[in-house]
Chains A and B, each alone.
Chain A
Amino acid sequence: MRFKTRGVLPGFGLSLGYTVLYVGLLVLLPLSAMVIKASSLGLSEFWLKVTDDRALAAYRLSFGSAFVGSLLNAVFGVLVAWVLVRYRFPGRSIVDALVDLPFALPTAVAGIALTTVYAEHGVLGEPLAKLGLKVAFTPLGVTMALTFIGIPFVVRTVQPVLEEIDPDVEEAAAVLGATRFQTFRRVIFPALLPATLTGFALAFARALGEYGSVVFISGNMPMRTEITPLLIVTKLEQYDYAGATAIAAVMLVASFGMLLLINLLERWARRAEA
């Protein structure tokens, strides 16, 4: 094994061979099938399919509501992480465990539950409707669902950083006459920024592709509340494989762009911590 540089334990060849074979068959082969299918369309046809009005409306909704949802999560995620790390209150560890719920709860279950809560006669939908806010079957509902599935990301990236901050720096700020808010804004927040942005990007990437929790609450009206993944499914159901693949390719490029960005942010976060 020429390209193996370190490691004395046996099993390198076996584990490498098995891992590469499994990843190749299960991930790379299917994904390359999609890329090849998309590139067989021809540039002008591809462009036509990915820029028709309905697709553009779907991108706007997907990117817009994913952005707003992740922004909400960035603000409240830092707050929740702060409260969980800094304060002791009854039920804290239950709340801490509950933060991971969107990871574990099937998206379809989240979808029907959120729709029931925010429907016109739902527990929270009714008071909101009286205030003139319709949630279910509107873009606002899509944003709510995308906020739900993004909750763990910011909390879980910010929590460990907050735990590691040395009390000395906060004491020093206090001794030098900073108010508590100044200390947060000038000392703590800059330390949390890389982790917060990483969490934001993770939540945004997840929200872009989300399907199950959105399709129930969105109402799925073309041009208005139709997210991009749903448009792909609709095209598939009409046996428009070319159209579905073209739009999927756009989404795939967007996800890979996010993946790259997240990697850069994580590298920045590690450097900031060191």
Chain B
Amino acid sequence: MSGIVTQRAGNAQRRDTQIGESLWVRVLLILVALAFLGIFLVAPIATVFVSALSKGPGPYWDALTQDETLDAIRLTLLTAGVAVPLNVVFGIAAAWLVSKYDFWGKSVLITVVDLPFSVSPVISGLIFVLLFGARGWFGPWLTDHDVKIIFAIPGIIMATTFVTFPLVARELIAVMQAQGSDEEEAALTLGASGLQILWRITLPKVRWGLLYGVILCNARAMGEFGAVSVVSGHVRGLTNTMPLQVEILYNEYNFVGAFAVASLLSALALVTLIVKKVVEWAASSRQAKRDASARALVPVRSTVSFEGVVQ
């Protein structure tokens, strides 16, 4: 790992000074790339905010404080509030399992964890309808006991949890595999218990990856549309999340309202991107710090002090 960052910077510099393209080729390529991203990324995201504020801040605020919109915001917060913690606990367990042990069937497990990514959101909703819907496997039993899952909040939470569940696990698996287990094993020889190792060594070590995983999982949980749309039944004020509210307002030609709700979700997406940048920056500066201390100290990595490990 050591020195990759500095080596990459060196690679870039060498190319710039010795074998780069001519200036006009560079400018042309940059402009074409920016035009592509402008058409496909910048135009839509700018449209969201421009349309939301097209009638001024008054109507924008009114659209956001409508009762049905507030209900949708509340339901979205509730859904993410259940789905994200569930997936964080799962993500930590799965990443611990995959990164600390070798066992039979590990690659199958990793594939299964990734499965929701390759399933259409519509199918993610459909599978829960087939299980819990009126004519599903558990449908008759649920009707007898007066429990509603499909076209109700539990179904929305289940579908959201399904769609977002690889996000934290994937992020943590990557970080924990890259960092290795030396510090954990050192703590074990010093008599730390499993819980102490997890709490005082592993979690602080992966905190940046964990933070990005949580933020991304949260953004996707709040923004999930396809799966939730299939299981929600669109009961106004009851089973509408924010993305569903966007759809309803848009189909009623209430564009300011639709884009006002959309602007909240877009702001959340932009915050997610900023957090990602900060996390990358923190990780690379930590790597640089490690490289520096590795050069300054004896070649054996110091694992005695817990503070040193945490850094």
Contacts and interface: CB of A to CB of B under 8 A. Distances in A.
Q: Is chain B found bound to chain A in the same assembly?
A: yes
Interface of A: 1, 3-12, 14-16, 18-20, 22-23, 26-31, 33-34, 37, 76, 79-80, 82-89, 93, 95-110, 112-114, 116-117, 122-124, 144, 147-148, 151, 163-167, 170-171, 174, 180, 183, 205, 208-212, 216, 229-230, 232-233, 236, 241, 244-245, 248, 251-252, 255-256, 258-259, 263
A18 B93 contact: yes
Is the contact region of chain A dominated by helix, strand, or loop, or is it mixed? helix
A26 B259 contact: no
Interface residues of B, number: 105
B250 interface: yes
B41 A255 contact: no
B19 A174 contact: yes
Q: Which 5 A-B pairs have the closest CB atoms?
A: A106-B223, A209-B120, A7-B101, A10-B194, A113-B44
Interface stretch (B26-34, B203-211, B299-307): B26-34
B220 to A, nearest CB: 8
A254 B141 CA distance: 33
Contacts of B101: 4, 6-7, 9, 12
Given A109-B243, A256-B118, A123 B47 contact: yes
B272 interface: yes
Nearest to A91: B34
A171 B15 CA distance: 9
Given A76-B33, A167-B14, A229 B226 contact: yes
Nearest to B273: A97
Contacts of A19: 90, 93-94, 97, 109
B122 A211 contact: yes
B55 interface: no
A211 B101 CA distance: 38
A156 B11 CA distance: 19
Chain B CB within 10 Å, residue with most, of A31, A96, A114, A244: A31
Given A104-B269, A212-B243, A97 B29 contact: no
A1 B43 CA distance: 56
B112 A27 contact: yes
B283 interface: no
Contacts of B39: 124
B184 to A, nearest CB: 6
